[in-house]
Amino acid sequence: MSKKPRILVAECMQEISSFNPLQSEYANFHIEHGAQMLVQKGINTGLGGALAVFDEVGFEPVLTISARAGSAGLLSRPGWNRLMGEVMEAIAAEAGSGIAGVYFSMHGAMGADGELDPEGYLLAEIRKLVGPDVPIVISLDLHGILTERMLRQIDGLAIYHTYPHVDFASTGARAARVLHRLVTDKRVKPTIARVTIPALVRGDELITKTGCYGSLVREARRLELEGTAMSAGIMIGNPFTDVPELCCQVIVATDNDADLAQAEAVRLAQEFWPLRHRMQGKFSSLERAIAQARSIPGPVIFTDAADATSSGATGDSNLILRGLQQAGYTKKVLAQIVDADAAAAAHQAGVGATVQLTLGGGIDPARFTPMPVTARVQLLSDGRARLETMKIGLDAGPTAVLTWDNVTVVVFSKTLSLFDRAMYFANGLDPRDFDLIVVKSPHTEHHMYEAWADCNFNVDVPGATSANLPTLGHTICARPIYPLDADVAFAPRATVYSR
């Protein structure tokens, strides 16, 4: 009986906002070693999808390490050094043991103090360990930044095709199938064409089911499904990750057909460029949104994309709550905020107690001022839940539900991703029971909020992930770039990578 090909499997994922003043640390990461990674089997993650394919095709996964962190600020230098050391130690322990291929699950928008391309660093180090002939395939978030250094190490890739993201597992599966092809057919010569586009984008047109970006992504997906390309995708980067190669980019990978890969990448980039104006945030002022919300009978959503913890913001903005209070808004409000001191005070006081404290402004005081409130402690919890879509765990630390007047606020001790309703549900709250719900995510899946809300206001307030991109203060990314600069010329040119 022939021996099963052994596939080294690793994961390292985080998305950062360079405009979050609080650096993230090693402690932000949830680490799984070896067989512990099997907990992702059967769930909607890249690893879950890849492992299912490896089972199907008879590959033996060599599980090394999974390190995942929620979006946050730049990873500190000590945090990166420790994380990098642990990841590389786990991989090095297996890299010399007859490995036939490597699958690495990544995000693409990491950033660390002293290393602005962590994914590129890790891939370069892995390439040194496994040698030039072992294929390396990665999966990436479409909000990632695929760098020159990354492209020079890899043989294949798969990129998310949906936003809001629902295709985590299917992207991992697509990457695994590319790797299967490379391992089992040595005649395949992957050729990757990339066109970089000097634009940063945000806004409703990025929703792939309904927006103009989605029509382009479907073209990329068609190239894959029809077999024209081994992989294809359009990455829009994370405009809050201020790094040298931040941009939008089209990626098309073929089997040894550089002309086709270049032609398709250039075509999609040419179609993308005129749409950059549409792919920008459309806002309501806070004052206008509150005034209109008063006259709307059904529930409304106030989207605080500027404090989107799933994009790397702090989560401690109280600007919408303060604005509602100052405007005398009287309908039922549901919101969330990150404030460890307030959560601790509520836990110390106990359920039913009345507490006087401040909310918000503890992490990003340059943008937010602490807001004094007198509130009742309605509920206390350990802050644990599971994401609705991915089914992976959430840990907000000690959590409290505080109420006063017409307002209910869930107060977390830790910053965590809030792109669904999981933390509301876990703390006994159903958003549909309220008139105005604050959502700290630029977009959520349609059924979660917009399907039953009468209106969704994208409120223009400051924050580390504001979709009002020129206000953020980029200093590192290449310029000129739209919309940070008014006059940006673009003539699409493809660069081809083939190892």
417 within a domain of the structure (yes/no)? yes
In a domain, 477, yes or no: no
Find how far residue 6's CA is from the centre of its chain: 30
Q: What is the mean pLDDT of residues 255-263?
A: 98
Q: Is residue 167 part of a domain?
A: yes
Does 487 map to a domain? Answer: no
Do 335 and 425 reside in the same domain of the chain?
yes
- The residue-averaged pLDDT of 147-155 equals 98
Looking at the structure, do residues 271 and 419 belong to the same domain, yes or no? no
Residue 157 is inside which H or E element, if any?
strand 156-159
All residues at 6 or more sequence positions from 289 whose CB lies less than 8 Å from its CB, including other chains: 302, 457, 459
Residue 200 has pLDDT above 50, yes or no: yes
pLDDT in tens, 29-68: 999 999 999 999 999 999 999 999 999 999 999 999 999 9
Q: Is the pLDDT of residue 461 over 50?
A: yes
Whichever domain contains 152, its CATH number is 3.40.50.2300
Q: What percent of the chain has pLDDT over 70?
A: 100
Query: Do 339 and 223 fall into the same domain?
Result: no
**Does residue 221 share a domain with residue 367?**
no
Give the model confidence (pLDDT) of 274-315 as tens digits: 999 999 999 999 999 999 999 999 899 999 999 999 899 999
Residue 483 lies in a domain: no
Residue 251 lies in a domain: yes
CA distance 320 to 312: 19
Rounded Cα distance, 157 and 174, in Å: 8
62 and 209 assigned to the same domain: yes
pLDDT score recorded for residue 2: 57
Is 90 exceeded by the pLDDT of residue 5? yes
DSSP 3-state of 318:
coil
CA distance 236 to 218: 15
157 shares its domain with 296: no
Quickly state the pLDDT bin for 93 (edges 50, 70, 90). Answer: very high
pLDDT of 1 higher than 70: no
412-449 per-position pLDDT tens digit: 999 988 889 999 999 999 999 999 999 999 999 999 99
- At 113-123, the pLDDT tens digits run 999 999 999 99
408, 375 in Cβ contact below 8 A? no
- Residues 34, 177, single domain; the answer is yes
For residue 375, the enclosing domain spans 286-467
Same domain assignment for residues 227 and 291? no
**How confident is the model at residue 97, as a pLDDT?**
75
CB atoms within 10 A of CB 468: 17
Percent of the chain with pLDDT over 90: 96
Residue 93 lies in a domain: yes
The total of structural domains in the chain comes to 2
What are 126-139's pLDDT values in tens digits? 999 999 999 999 99
How would you class 297 by CB atoms within 10 Å of its CB: exposed for 0-12, middle for 13-18, buried for 19 or more? exposed
Asked whether residue 1 is domain-assigned, the answer is no
Whole-number pLDDT of residue 425: 96
My answer on whether 317 and 352 are in the same domain is yes
Q: Give the pLDDT confidence score for residue 391 in this predicted structure.
A: 84
Supply the mean pLDDT for the chain.
Answer: 96
Task: Indicate if 171 and 232 belong to the same structural domain.
Answer: yes
Of residues 151, 155, 171, 138, the one with CA closest to residue 9: 138
Q: Do residues 269 and 292 both lie within one domain?
A: no
Looking at the structure, do residues 114 and 209 belong to the same domain, yes or no? yes
- The answer for residues whose C-beta is within 8 angstroms of residue 358's C-beta and 6 or more apart is 339, 341, 342, 370, 371, 372, 373
